[in-house]
Amino acid sequence: MSGGLSGISVGSRSNVWGINPDGAIYRFTNDDATPWHKVPGGLTDISAAADGTVWGVNANHEIFRYIGDQ
């Protein structure tokens, strides 16, 4: 990941997400070689839950939900 994160949310140690100042979304993989994986889309705010659910808001104030396969 180039640059840094402007926001991060931790639902559990296996459910960590972040967004950068440009709104790009990243998921922490716990892989030493590539610890952050870029996820398609763009958000201005993000929140992760312990059950793997991730909520986000984009620049148009639309709400999104991601339910992953933890």
Q: What are the tens digits of pLDDT across the range 1-34?
A: 777 999 999 999 989 999 999 999 999 998 888 8
pTM summary value: 0.89
* Cα within 13 Å of Cα(28), Cβ side: 16
Confidence of residue 67 (pLDDT cuts 50, 70, 90): confident
DSSP 33: S
Cross-strand bridge partners of residue 7: 19
